[in-house]
Chains A and B, each alone.
Chain A
Amino acid sequence: MHQIITPSSRGKDLSILLIFIAVVLTAPLWGSLIGAGYPDLLQKFAIFGLFAIGYNLLFGLTGYLSFGHAAFLGVGSYVTVWSFKLLSMNVIPAVMFAVVFSGIFALVIGFLSLRRSGIYFSILTLAFAQMSYNLAYSVLTPITNGETGLRVLRDDPRVIDNALGVTLEGSPLGDLFGITLTGYAGFYFCAAMLILGFWLSLKIFRSPFGMKLVAIKSNQTRMEYTGFNPRPYLLSAFVISGMYAGLAGSLMAITDPLAGAERMQWTASGEVVLMTILGGLGTLFGPILGAATIKYFENIFSAINLQVLENTFAFMPEWLGGIMVTITRPFVGEGWHLTLGVLFMLIIIFMPGGLIEGFRRLSRLFGGKKAASETPAAESEGGVK
């Protein structure tokens, strides 16, 4: 196991951040090399990356497994659409309201759920999220528009826009002072938010606050008898991660101005758990890597249909091709979650530290000592006899 919190130098942190920014901003370039060079998919990388980075601050650092973070995603989306409807198509107030409201929502749910720990905490968060989902789906229809989903309409008040004489032209899309956030403009707005989110996460990883969160995960009893009250620390982490989820939900609604209740369902909460673990729980880069990996493979596998399969196996004799199609069929298209399940199992069994651990092993294998000594893992490797 490697040390999560390292007293890294200022220069090293700065270079980490700069490399991250460079990788994110050049995404359209490297994306096109792996067949992901279009804004819709890159946006998903950024949005789910943010969701997972924030989730990791709770689950990765404190070890508290929340099964209800999709609720904050949903709140972020609804608030954003309402901001579009009532105030303006400008995304700045929309994002700010989404983050604030999801933070308040997380404060309430966190305050109640954190009265318990372990499995009981997880169940409480799951219960709250499912309650939110059901409320959004039925009872709160006036606010959420239930099954149909909340969307921006032409005759919405949009007080600020009307006061400024801005009229809605064409389909309603998020707007940043005149720039319509669609296509690559949308991606770069999400990318800017991702960079901001990553920067904050890096700061927390390097702070005494982050170290205390890991200490709570490591030995909560000791923490209490050392003079700390763990509850407000956990609640802070919960609210921060809830705000990340709210921001991610807001970006979803900005790039596609529609908010539906299914965004709050427990499967969405489960997905972020998978992303975080798949990439590397408690690591700086793991969650975003996990999010991008899952969204990338989802994009590839869910697009494969019967036709594609038949073409792929066309070179085989007909009887063999038929068998191959029958075998592979359940793993693609609608059934891509089966592939995800297999992928997840393989990684957890052979690399419990996630993809990040895989990269560490590779760098040790090929880069020898030099590469290994640059990773924080090397420090603790020295301690293992």
Chain B
Amino acid sequence: MSNGDNDFVLSIRGVNKTFGGLQALSDINLNIEKGKVHAIIGPNGAGKSTLLNTCIGLLTPDSGSITFGGKDLTKSMTPHAINQAGISRVFQTPQIFPELSILQNVMIPAFAKRDGAFSFNPLKALREEEGILNEATTLLDDLGMGEGAHHHAGNLSRGNKRRLELAMCLIQHPKLLLLDEPTAGMARHDTNRTIELLKKIKESGMTKVIIEHDMHVVFSLADRISVLAQGAIIAEGTPDEIKGHPKVREAYLGSAEI
């Protein structure tokens, strides 16, 4: 590769993970370039989500290292420390705070970004947090969710919960954003709206890793694609290279038209 090591936001080196007898990840090597959208595709059970989980401290790999900002994430880093280091994640099943309002859902991660993993000032009033209130309101307006921001987040549709979770990640301005199937289960026009949104973020230069089944989404967003099958990376390249890759066609795309 032509880039120096410094341009990589995340470097995964020789990561292995087994569950019982199942080799979920075998010798994964992956570099995520700064400012790029890197898609990971592959059939069900290929290990895509497992790979993301090792990056946020949800799983510890059996061997190998994952370097982010000079730190090895596999060395007993807690999930909140990893987030504080600059990695935010959208989960496959939307993870929001159903009992809070939409606006509060977005304010919470903004507090984490500003105040760190713990801050104690129970006498400060929420209404005095104008900076964070404004930031959250502006972001929700941008995403078209500004109306009804005081409503319960628990009542949102699944598609809107995903968008809300994306907003919760975006307000942290992460150095690396991990997206696990951000459009799964969405209607076509919701998917298109999400693609538009992600394209807009792409212009901001935020580095993103995206897992996606929808090839339409992948090819309209990704700068680089890695193909995962049975826990191993079988191909990596630009979208055009991947489209024409014989191994990929065989393992994943089958005869489906791209």
What residues make up the interface of A, taking CB atoms closer than 8 Å to B? 1, 3-5, 7-10, 200, 203-204, 206-212, 214-215, 217-219, 221-229, 232-233, 236, 240, 379-380, 382-385
Contacts and interface: CB of A to CB of B under 8 A. Distances in A.
A227 B122 contact: no
Contacts, number: 131
Contact of B96 (A4, A203, A222): A222
Given A383-B152, A384-B155, A226 B122 contact: no
Contacts of B22: none
Contacts of B127: 7-10, 206
Decide if the interface of chain B is mainly helix, strand, loop or mixed.
loop
A10 to B, nearest CB: 7
Given A1-B152, A229-B80, A207 B100 contact: no
Contacts of B91: 225
Contact of A225 (B56, B100, B118, B123): B56
16 contacts: A10-B125, A200-B122, A207-B123, A209-B119, A211-B100, A218-B98, A219-B96, A222-B97, A224-B80, A225-B83, A226-B109, A227-B116, A232-B118, A236-B122, A240-B122, A383-B148
B111 A208 contact: yes
Contact of A208 (B118, B124, B152, B155): B124
B108 interface: yes
B166 to A, nearest CB: 13
A101 B107 CA distance: 35
Nearest to A216: B97
B151 interface: yes
B120 interface: yes
Interface string B100-141: 110010011101110011111111111101000100000000
B99 interface: yes
B150 interface: yes
B95 interface: yes
B79 interface: yes
Given A4-B99, A214-B100, A227-B113, A204 B122 contact: yes
Contact of A219 (B97, B107, B119): B97
A383 B155 contact: yes
Closest 3 CB pairs of A and B: A383-B151, A227-B112, A227-B83
A385 to B, nearest CB: 7
B126 A218 contact: no
Contacts of B116: 227
A8 B120 CA distance: 20
Contacts of A227: 80, 83-84, 109, 112-113, 116-117, 172
Nearest to A230: B80
B210 interface: no
Contact of A207 (B80, B99, B104, B121): B121
A236 B112 CA distance: 17
B168 interface: yes
A380 B98 contact: no
Interface in B139-176: 148, 150-152, 154-155, 168, 172
A240 B121 CA distance: 13
